[in-house]
Amino acid sequence: MGQVLIKKAEKFEELIELAKKIVVDEFKVAQRDRRSFLLELCGGRTPVKLYQQLNKELLLGQLEFPIEFFIGDERNVPWDHNKSNNFLVRNTLLNNNLEQIVHLHDFQTQLSRVEAAEVYANELDELTPNGFDLAILGIGKDGHFASIFQGFTQWETENKTVVTETTENEVMERLSISPKFLLKAKKLLVLLAGADKSPILDKLGDENLSREDFPAKFLLAHPNLEIIFSEEAAY
């Protein structure tokens, strides 16, 4: 699996502690350089506890140089919908603090999906043209990451955002930051929690599988990819 760093945590709580240290360490580099920290965020159950702890750890209201938060993928639902990743981040990491929500960037799902993708791509051009400092991702059992599912074909697009869809989940219409732009992040951090996620590691190392078979194989091209895995599921 190349130079991928894999850490196995005994408990879910340890996974959260390891992930928190990585985020805080990368954040401190940006603060030391006197610049904003550019952090891409994923949805799902696994990062919820991490986001809750980071809310306290990062002292968001006291920063000289803010953190800019970017939703990596979004379901095509309103931001106040309980399936929205925007809703998740606002209610955990940002604790519904209006002063911090202005630093949260996402697909504007009140627009058509094509328009929402274009508007967000322009925002990424302005705020993070060279990529994120850190991108936090999850991987589904089918190999999807962000909203990049089996059947995806736009692997080589230079667009920073893409319109996607899935037939496997309740909300089928999706929007996502493009795979190639995710690879521009300085570091990728993948969180996997639960014994049912263990086969993902085997599939990532299976040379007979392509990105078309298992989309997360694409992430292995990144020179600074770290995966933290816990047999214990998120709670």
- Count of other CB atoms within 10 angstroms of residue 107: 29
Query: Cα separation of 181 and 200, whole Å?
Result: 23
Query: Cα separation of 89 and 164, whole Å?
Result: 21
Non-local (6+) Cβ contacts of 21 within 8 A are none
- For residue 208, being part of any structural domain is answered with no
Query: Cα separation of 182 and 24, whole Å?
Result: 20
- For residue 188, being part of any structural domain is answered with yes
Residue 61, amino acid: G
Query: Cα separation of 18 and 22, whole Å?
Result: 7
Residue 185, amino acid: A
Q: What is the pLDDT of residue 33?
A: 94
Q: Which residues pair with 8 in a beta bridge?
A: 229
Residue 207, amino acid: E
- For residue 33, being part of any structural domain is answered with no
- For residue 18, being part of any structural domain is answered with no
Q: What residues in the chain have per-residue pLDDT under 70?
A: 1-2, 59-63, 171
Half-sphere exposure of 45 (CA within 13 A, CB side): 9
Provide the CATH number for the domain around residue 98: 3.40.50.1360
The pTM score is: 0.95
Q: Give the orientation angle of helix 12-32 with respect to helix 48-57, to 10 degrees.
A: 40
- For residue 139, being part of any structural domain is answered with yes
- For residue 111, being part of any structural domain is answered with yes
- For residue 30, being part of any structural domain is answered with no
Residue from 155, 156, 159 nearest 117 by CA: 159
Range of the domain at 177: 61-192
Half-sphere exposure of 163 (CA within 13 A, CB side): 13
Query: Cα separation of 178 and 169, whole Å?
Result: 20
User: pLDDT digit string (tens) for 77-122?
Assistant: 999 999 999 999 999 999 888 888 999 999 999 999 999 999 999 9
Query: How many domains does the chain contain in total?
Result: 1
- For residue 39, being part of any structural domain is answered with no
